[in-house]
């Protein structure tokens, strides 16, 4: 009877079942606890007792749904992130310690009503992208147990893919929060460094690490991000979120980069190549303009990850433990970290200088594109193959991921179909720091275009899931007259770095008037009452930064002003409206459907 609750799906679906009374948090945690006692895929390192899970659930139920945005939502925690009272091992038993407090990000989620189920398996000390480097067993792929799960956040991904939890926390230094997502048909969101506090996390490379999120949908990832991000003085790399620029994720036209053909690598996997080409075509179908870019600066940055400063930083993270207990560290991880001793302080600074130069080159790419599209990984390997050739094959997995945190970019891995053998394939969307919201919006649109099931659960992707409200620093504004593209006042938008999001119409309850006065005439948009006949009027929706909005609005002459306009898709945005008194002597031009058509009629007179 318990099994009917599992596998779990996306967060809104679970919350709907709670709201209807069909389920309770206590019932859900009891079902999960029963399910995960048998763990052939080596997902979990430690799980909470049934008594502890019930205690969390009872506390949530006592507070009620209205007070908790993640009411009773179960989640998993990678075992290099602290959960109070549960040992943190980083997949090394000899290293284990039991924290008295949870990591900042974990505590924020618990405070929002989420219920931690336990700690998940990982490549030891978060060093690896494959999921086989753990004394707790090689974590198995959710679709085919003979294949790797991806790592280092292996258990976190598979726990979600199998529907044992609704979301999970991983970490991402070189791709650990993205590669497992691609291999298990999930969203893998690597936020801008510093958005999620790393306080209470065992570091791999402290200057590069970020907590990451695995979820079924981009909307879920955005919801979790909104709840869990906050500046944390306890984390020296924490930083405030900044508003993003143009929200290309919702635009009808945007530009995306793809590496030159000769720079793409699929390591002999023709399925991956085919699926990547299909993903590029889907991006174009969403309004994207594909622009070929030189990927070499990104690759050059990636090659630095296991050289000089950043290998030394892995050593610094566990230096005292490594010196005393290196024999307790699994061979591939020990071999990587041991190379740190060959580098001098001068090597470290020279490496930092070289990376700064590489970043200057890579950042020039963003002048021509809004985001970058790559495979998340060029191919996938069996567990046996990975264990036979652990260093070279792991390096292949990082071809498209290793540069990300070195260059301070944000990224989201998105499911993008299946190989002929049934294994998942994923792509990654990349943008500069603080462009997280546009990426998440675009990821949501891609998911809706693919309509792939959730993870390995077989549950259909919910359609038309609303995107959670976030702090963007941008305002969308609808224009209907001389501010339209190509018309005389459009430069008031473009000179303020405004970007066109979409061309659409209002909802069908507006009327448009040509206001009296000397040419050039001005349009007046009015929303009519329920008992009046309205029409849909052509508008363009532009995006403008909040700091530019004031000077733009200051130029608007009476009787026009800014109000709330409803669009054809029922979305509301700010836009030009006219005071009602001004239409007394105005000409009703609603039948033209918009200002452009009216102007064309005047030209033909």
Asked whether the beta carbons of 304 and 310 are under 8 A apart, the reply is yes
- Residues with Cβ within 8 Å of 105's Cβ and at least 6 positions away in sequence, in order, are 81, 169, 196, 197, 200, 211, 228
- Closest by CA position to 415, among listed 452, 445, 386: 452
Strand bridging mode 288-293 / 254-259: parallel
Calculate the alpha carbon distances from 124 to 90, 174, 333, 340 in Å.
6, 14, 7, 17
Distance CA 1, CA 184 (A): 27
Active site residue 176: yes
Q: SS3 for 473? A: coil
Handedness of CA 143, 145, 148, 154 (dihedral sign): positive
Active site residue 78: yes
Strand bridging mode 371-375 / 288-293: unpaired
Q: Which of 52, 102, 152, 212 is catalytic?
A: 152
Q: Which of 78, 162, 190, 193 is catalytic?
A: 78
Distance CA 128, CA 229 (A): 26
- The residues pairing with 575 across neighbouring beta strands, listed in sequence order, are 478, 563
- Closest by CA position to 188, among listed 375, 447, 413, 9: 413
DSSP 88-146: B-TT-GGG-B--SS--HHHHHHHHTT-EEEEEE--SGGG--SSS---TT-PPBPSS-TT
Asked whether the beta carbons of 500 and 476 are under 8 A apart, the reply is no
Active site residue 193: no
- Residues with Cβ within 8 Å of 345's Cβ and at least 6 positions away in sequence, in order, are none
- Closest by CA position to 184, among listed 242, 145, 135, 218: 145
- Closest by CA position to 85, among listed 70, 100, 74: 100
For residues 84-94, one letter each, b for 16 or more C-beta atoms within 10 angstroms of the residue's C-beta and e for the rest, the string is eebbbbbbbee
Q: SS3 for 299? A: helix
Q: Which of 149, 176, 215, 545 is catalytic?
A: 176
Catalytic positions are 78, 152, 176
């Amino acid at each position: 009877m318990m099994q009917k609750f599992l596998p779990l799906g996306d967060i809104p679906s679970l919350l709907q079942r709670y709201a209807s009374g069909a389920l309770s948090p206590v019932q859900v945690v009891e079902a999960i606890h029963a399910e995960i006692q048998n763990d052939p895929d080596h997902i979990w390192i430690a799980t909470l007792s049934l008594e502890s899970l019930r205690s969390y659930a009872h506390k949530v139920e006592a507070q009620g749904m209205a007070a908790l945005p993640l009411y009773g939502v179960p989640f998993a925690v990678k075992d290099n992130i602290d959960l109070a009272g549960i040992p943190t091992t980083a997949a090394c038993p000899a290293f284990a310690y039991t924290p008295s407090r949870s990591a900042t990000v974990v505590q924020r989620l618990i405070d929002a009503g989420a219920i931690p189920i336990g700690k998940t398996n990982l490549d030891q000390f978060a060093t690896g992208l494959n999921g086989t480097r753990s004394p707790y067993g090689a974590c198995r792929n959710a679709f085919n147990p003979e294949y790797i799960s991806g790592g280092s956040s292996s258990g976190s991904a598979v726990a979600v893919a199998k529907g044992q939890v609704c979301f999970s926390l991983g970490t991402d230094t070189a791709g650990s929060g993205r590669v497992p997502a691609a291999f298990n048909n999930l969203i893998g969101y690597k936020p801008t460094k510093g958005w999620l506090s790393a306080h209470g996390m065992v570091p791999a490379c402290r200057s590069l690490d970020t907590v990451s999120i695995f979820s079924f949908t981009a909307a879920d990832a955005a919801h979790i991000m909104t709840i869990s991000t906050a500046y944390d003085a306890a984390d020296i790399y924490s930083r405030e979120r900044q508003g993003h620029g143009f929200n290309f994720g919702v635009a009808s036209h945007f530009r995306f980069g793809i590496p030159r053909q000769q720079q793409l690598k699929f390591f002999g996997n023709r399925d991956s190549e085919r699926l990547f080409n299909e993903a590029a075509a889907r991006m174009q179908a969403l309004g994207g303009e594909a622009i070929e870019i030189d990927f070499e600066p990104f690759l050059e940055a990636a090659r630095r990850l296991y050289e000089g400063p950043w290998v030394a930083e892995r050593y610094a993270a566990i230096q005292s433990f490594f010196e005393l207990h290196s024999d307790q560290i699994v061979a591939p991880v020990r071999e990587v970290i041991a190379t740190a001793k060959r580098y001098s302080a001068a090597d470290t600074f020279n490496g930092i200088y070289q990376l700064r130069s590489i970043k200057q080159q890579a950042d020039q790419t963003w002048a021509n594109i809004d985001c970058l599209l790559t495979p998340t990984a060029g191919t996938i390997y069996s567990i046996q193959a990975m264990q036979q050739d652990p260093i070279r094959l792991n390096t292949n997995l990082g071809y498209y991921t290793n540069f990300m945190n070195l260059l301070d970019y944000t990224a989201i891995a998105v499911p993008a179909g299946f190989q002929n053998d049934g294994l998942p394939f994923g792509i990654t969307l990349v943008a500069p720091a603080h462009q997280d919201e546009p990426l998440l919006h675009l990821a949501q649109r891609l998911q809706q275009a693919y309509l792939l099931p959730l993870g390995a659960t077989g549950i259909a992707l919910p359609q038309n899931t609303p995107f959670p409200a976030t702090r963007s620093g941008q305002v969308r504004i609808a224009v209907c007259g001389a501010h339209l593209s190509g018309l005389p006042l459009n430069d008031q938008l473009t000179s303020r770095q405004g970007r066109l999001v979409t061309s659409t119409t209002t909802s069908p309850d507006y009327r448009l008037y040509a206001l009296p006065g000397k040419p050039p005439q001005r349009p007046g948009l009015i929303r009519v009452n329920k008992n009046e006949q309205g029409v849909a009027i052509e508008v363009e929706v532009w995006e403008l930064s909040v700091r530019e909005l004031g000077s733009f609005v200051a130029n608007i002459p009476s009787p026009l002003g800014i109000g709330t306009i409803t669009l054809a898709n029922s979305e509301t945005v700010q836009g030009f409206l006219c005071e009602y008194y001004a239409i007394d002597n105005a000409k009703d031009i609603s039948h033209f459907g918009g200002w452009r058509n009216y102007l064309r009629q005047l030209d033909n007179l």
